[in-house]
Structures are given as structure tokens and as C-alpha cells.
């Protein structure tokens, strides 16, 4: 499982938002802030064993398995709307739905990581106990 390359997320979100001319600089700045907000939220809510570092460039990598690329992209898109970016025509309804389901989106990462830990730990309950599963 590879980490998430932000360049592809950035390009995908450019297509989902209305970005023109001079607005590209602001779009990039909002994208970077949105990714950092998303990683902070994921760090807090998912209680990852290794915290995700903040990023400084659209060419950076997020230290989160690429199997969560869709979740990260959706959370970043919601954050970008909060920063004032306007979705392209036809994208509004999907992004509004993502905004309503934001806690569930992030919890899906935590749940998946917990399920993987439980499945991998057949004889030692310490991981599951530490996450509050017992007692």
C-alpha cells in the first residue's frame, strides 16, 4: 500500500471546482490548507499509530494508505468549499452530500484500520483492548 500522491488529487479537484486565471494561486493555497485541515481531522478522529505530517506543496505525499484516496479527496473538497471555492456546475449536490457525511467519511478510515488490526491479531487482544473494544 502506497501513500497518497497529492498531484493527482489536486488535478482531480481542479476539474471539480470552477478555477480560472488568477484564481489558480488562491486555489492552490486553499488546496494546501484543505489537505492540512483534513489530515489534522483524520489524526484526531482516527487515532492513527503514526500521525500524518502536514504538507507544504501540491507535489507532496500524504502518509496515508492510497486505499483511502477517495475519502481524503472528498474531505479536502468539503474543506475547499468551506474556504469559498465554488464547485463546477453539476458537482454541487455531490459535494453537499459529502459535507453532510463528513464524520462518517473520516470514521470509515478509523473503522477500516480497527477491523484490519482485529483481523490480523488472532491471539493477542491487546490492540483491541487498547481501542476500547473490551471493558
- Residue-wise pLDDT for 61-102, tens only, equals 999 999 999 999 999 999 999 999 999 888 888 888 989 998
Please report the pLDDT score of residue 121 as a whole number.
73
**CA nearest to 102, candidates 131, 79, 85:** 79
Say if residue 125's pLDDT is above 90. Answer: no
Say if residue 22's pLDDT is above 70. Answer: no
Angle between helices 92-100 and 102-120 (to 10 degrees): 60
Burial of 78 (0-12, 13-18, 19+ CB in 10 A): buried
Most confident range, picked from 52-61, 100-109, 116-125: 52-61
- Predicted TM-score (pTM) of this structure: 0.82
Please report the pLDDT score of residue 69 as a whole number.
95
Mean pLDDT of 10-22: 85
**CA nearest to 25, candidates 55, 53, 58:** 58
CA distances from 11 to 8, 32, 99, 111 (A): 5, 13, 20, 28
Question: Using 50, 70 and 90 to split pLDDT, how confident is the model at 134?
Answer: low
Average pLDDT, the chain: 86
CB-based contact 58:28 (threshold 8 Å): yes
Please report the pLDDT score of residue 37 as a whole number.
97
For the chain, state the CA radius of gyration: 17
Amino acid at each position: 500500500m502506497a501513500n497518497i500522491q497529492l498531484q493527482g488529487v489536486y488535478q482531480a479537484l481542479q476539474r471539480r471546482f470552477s478555477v480560472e486565471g488568477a484564481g489558480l494561486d488562491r486555489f492552490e493555497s486553499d488546496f494546501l490548507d484543505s489537505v492540512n485541515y483534513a489530515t489534522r481531522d483524520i489524526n484526531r478522529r482516527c487515532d492513527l499509530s503514526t500521525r500524518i505530517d502536514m504538507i507544504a506543496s501540491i507535489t507532496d505525499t500524504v502518509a496515508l494508505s492510497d486505499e483511502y484516496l477517495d475519502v481524503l479527496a472528498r474531505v479536502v473538497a468539503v474543506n475547499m468549499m468551506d474556504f469559498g471555492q465554488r464547485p463546477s456546475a453539476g458537482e454541487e449536490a455531490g459535494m453537499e452530500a459529502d459535507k453532510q457525511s463528513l464524520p462518517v467519511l473520516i470514521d470509515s478510515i478509523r473503522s477500516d484500520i480497527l477491523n484490519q488490526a482485529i483481523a490480523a491479531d488472532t491471539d493477542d487482544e491487546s490492540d483491541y483492548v487498547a481501542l476500547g473494544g473490551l471493558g
